Amino acid sequence: MNKIGSLESQLMDAFKDKEEKEVATTAADAQKLQDKEIEAHAAKVNLAHRQKFNNNWRKKNKKKKNTAKASRKANRK
Protein backbone atom coordinates (compact mmCIF):
# COMPACT_ATOMS: atom_id res chain seq x y z
CA MET A 1 0.00 0.00 0.00
CA ASN A 2 2.86 2.33 0.79
CA LYS A 3 4.38 1.78 -2.68
CA ILE A 4 1.21 2.99 -4.34
CA GLY A 5 1.15 6.06 -2.13
CA SER A 6 4.74 6.99 -2.95
CA LEU A 7 4.18 6.37 -6.66
CA GLU A 8 1.10 8.54 -6.54
CA SER A 9 2.98 11.35 -4.79
CA GLN A 10 5.79 11.11 -7.37
CA LEU A 11 3.28 11.41 -10.19
CA MET A 12 1.59 14.37 -8.50
CA ASP A 13 4.96 16.10 -8.01
CA ALA A 14 5.86 15.53 -11.64
CA PHE A 15 2.49 16.88 -12.74
CA LYS A 16 2.91 19.98 -10.54
CA ASP A 17 6.38 20.64 -11.95
CA LYS A 18 5.11 20.26 -15.50
CA GLU A 19 2.17 22.57 -14.76
CA GLU A 20 4.47 25.25 -13.29
CA LYS A 21 6.75 25.12 -16.34
CA GLU A 22 3.77 25.37 -18.67
CA VAL A 23 2.41 28.41 -16.82
CA ALA A 24 5.85 30.06 -16.98
CA THR A 25 6.19 29.47 -20.75
CA THR A 26 2.64 30.68 -21.37
CA ALA A 27 3.39 33.90 -19.47
CA ALA A 28 6.61 34.36 -21.44
CA ASP A 29 4.76 33.83 -24.73
CA ALA A 30 2.10 36.34 -23.71
CA GLN A 31 4.80 38.90 -22.86
CA LYS A 32 6.51 38.35 -26.22
CA LEU A 33 3.20 38.79 -28.04
CA GLN A 34 2.47 41.98 -26.11
CA ASP A 35 5.95 43.33 -26.91
CA LYS A 36 5.39 42.57 -30.62
CA GLU A 37 2.07 44.41 -30.59
CA ILE A 38 3.61 47.44 -28.88
CA GLU A 39 6.47 47.45 -31.41
CA ALA A 40 4.07 47.24 -34.35
CA HIS A 41 1.96 50.09 -32.97
CA ALA A 42 5.05 52.25 -32.39
CA ALA A 43 6.20 51.64 -35.96
CA LYS A 44 2.75 52.57 -37.30
CA VAL A 45 2.64 55.78 -35.24
CA ASN A 46 6.18 56.66 -36.31
CA LEU A 47 5.28 56.18 -39.99
CA ALA A 48 2.17 58.36 -39.64
CA HIS A 49 4.17 61.07 -37.87
CA ARG A 50 6.89 60.98 -40.51
CA GLN A 51 4.29 61.23 -43.27
CA LYS A 52 2.40 64.06 -41.61
CA PHE A 53 5.44 66.25 -41.03
CA ASN A 54 7.13 65.50 -44.36
CA ASN A 55 7.37 68.50 -46.72
CA ASN A 56 6.23 66.49 -49.74
CA TRP A 57 3.05 65.48 -47.92
CA ARG A 58 2.31 69.12 -47.04
CA LYS A 59 2.94 70.29 -50.62
CA LYS A 60 0.74 67.56 -52.05
CA ASN A 61 -2.11 68.39 -49.64
CA LYS A 62 -1.78 72.10 -50.35
CA LYS A 63 -1.97 71.42 -54.08
CA LYS A 64 -5.05 69.21 -53.63
CA LYS A 65 -6.74 71.84 -51.48
CA ASN A 66 -6.03 74.65 -53.94
CA THR A 67 -7.17 72.53 -56.90
CA ALA A 68 -10.45 71.73 -55.16
CA LYS A 69 -10.90 75.40 -54.23
CA ALA A 70 -10.28 76.48 -57.84
CA SER A 71 -12.70 73.85 -59.10
CA ARG A 72 -15.47 75.06 -56.76
CA LYS A 73 -14.78 78.65 -57.78
CA ALA A 74 -15.00 77.71 -61.48
CA ASN A 75 -18.27 75.87 -60.89
CA ARG A 76 -19.86 78.99 -59.37
CA LYS A 77 -19.34 81.05 -62.51
- Residue-wise pLDDT for 39-60, tens only, equals 999 999 999 998 888 888 889 8
Is residue 57 within 8 A of residue 51, CB to CB? The reply is yes
Residue 3, pLDDT score:
67
Cα–Cα distance, 29 to 69 (Å, whole number)? 53
pTM over 0.85, yes/no:
no
Residue 77, pLDDT score:
76
- Residue-wise pLDDT for 7-16, tens only, equals 888 888 888 8
Mean pLDDT computed over 32-44: 94
Of 12 and 3, the one with more pLDDT: 12
